[in-house]
Structure 1
Amino acid sequence: MTDIKAEIREFRIGEKIRALRQQKRLTLQELSDLTTLSKPLLSQIENQQVIPPLATLLKIAKGLKVDIHFFFEDEGNRQKYVLTRSDEAPERIFRQTSDDAARPYIYHSLAPGLRHKHMEPFLVEFEKREWDDKLLFKHEGDEEFLYVTEGELEFHYNNEIISLHSGDSIYYDSSQLHGWVAVGEGRARAVAVLYSRE
């Protein structure tokens, strides 16, 4: 079984958030106000007790005025590419937490460590569940591309509901309310790419 806590420590997302917050001279309460996330949750993330789901990480990135890529960069990494073989497990796994249980997915970074990326690719696994409006979220200034590799997804975008099957893809402005849920038989998998325009 994977030691999730060890993975968090190795990736140092909490440390990066704390260092950047302190550099910007923000208190935890001020960051809470900027992100609408609770102060205790932010503290747990900074202390590497909680793995932040992607939507939570996006809120923190916006609050700190950095691209989400900041959290996946390795300052010591000088390589120009990241190769991920089909028979290799993705290096990092981020799971939903009890603090954000409404996010029914697991995501794997497909380009960990590479510096100064403009895009952030993920392999995302969606759990089958009933739709809930709590799954809707948005983040300003970003665009996303999603390609379904397995299963069936129900994509909610503003007031539309779109069914996506294996081989389907969608490119959208993520500043609009959106959310996904797996439907049909079992879980669904997709490749998602986030792009920050700022």
Structure 2
Amino acid sequence: MTDIKAQIKEFRIGQKIRGLRQQKRLTLQELSDLTTLSKPLLSQIENEQVVPPLATLLKIAKGLKVGIHFFFEDESNRQGYVMTKREALPEFETVQRPIINDVSRPYVYHSLAQGMRHKHMEPFLVEFDTCSWDERLFFKHEGDEEFLYIVAGELDLHYNNEVIRLRAGDSIYYDSSQPHGWVAVGEEKAKAVAVLYTKD
């Protein structure tokens, strides 16, 4: 089975970031300033040595002034739909959790609409690790909204000063420009379908 690194390479996310950055005549340092991400990290992402978590991709998208869907589009796809078969999804266990700001991200994600062009929503299947909350897991992205439906396990959403517990079957829609972060709680990992909506 292919893993998320193969997905990243298939859609040339690193190449797309570099190409768009160069097209906009931005240096790595300038993109670093726009995104608050380190120059070495951006270089590793562009060279596809690091799999960027969603929060990082969103920061890069904002810095480059594109929607997150830009990274998952296939311009050769002329169909009006894209279907993802269950057996096409990689096993979560094969995926390494990215480390950002010395903190391992407690989740991995798979795009559920890879290749679809010009979309405003980006759906993902996400698996969350059980771990202790760390303030460094907070992130936010201006102008976006998120919807999460819990498929299995339990999650704590840290949202501003609140902690919201969600169980399988629960869902939440929220403004993701506010500081937020997720951790699974209990004995099992949690899975959810997440949909990110990027306003034009």
TM-score normalized by the length of structure 2:
0.92
CA 91–81 in structure 1, closer or farther in 2 if over 3 Å, else same? farther
1:187 aligned to 2:189? yes
% identical aligned pairs: 74
Offset from partner CA, 1:45-75 (integer Å, 9 cap, x none): 1111111111110000000000000000001
Secondary structure at the counterpart of residue 14 of structure 1: helix
Aligned to 1:76: 76
Gaps of 5+ in 1: none
Secondary structure at the counterpart of residue 110 of structure 2: strand
The whole-number CA distance in structure 2 between the counterparts of 1:15 and 1:162 is 38
Offset from partner CA, 1:12-50 (integer Å, 9 cap, x none): 000000000000000000000000001011011111111
CA contact (8 A) 1:51 1:97 kept: yes
1:164 aligned to 2:177? no
CA contact (8 A) 1:154 1:162 kept: yes
Deviation of the 1:174 alpha carbon: 0.3
CA RMSD of aligned residues (A): 2.0
Deviation of the 1:87 alpha carbon: 4.1
Deviation of the 1:5 alpha carbon: 4.7
Summarize the alignment of residues 88-103 of structure 1 with structure 2, pairs less than 5 Å apart.
88-89=88-89, 95-99=96-100, 101-103=103-105
TM-score normalized by the length of structure 1:
0.93
Offset from partner CA, 1:50-105 (integer Å, 9 cap, x none): 11111110000000000000000001111110112344426999753234543210
Aligned to 1:126: 128
Deviation of the 1:11 alpha carbon: 1.8
Secondary structure at the counterpart of residue 182 of structure 1: strand
Offset from partner CA, 1:141-177 (integer Å, 9 cap, x none): 0000000000000011111111000000000000001
Aligned to 1:54: 54
Gaps of 5+ in 2: none
The whole-number CA distance in structure 2 between the counterparts of 1:59 and 1:146 is 20
Offset from partner CA, 1:107-144 (integer Å, 9 cap, x none): 01000010000100000000000011111110000000
CA 54–11 in structure 1, closer or farther in 2 if over 3 Å, else same? same
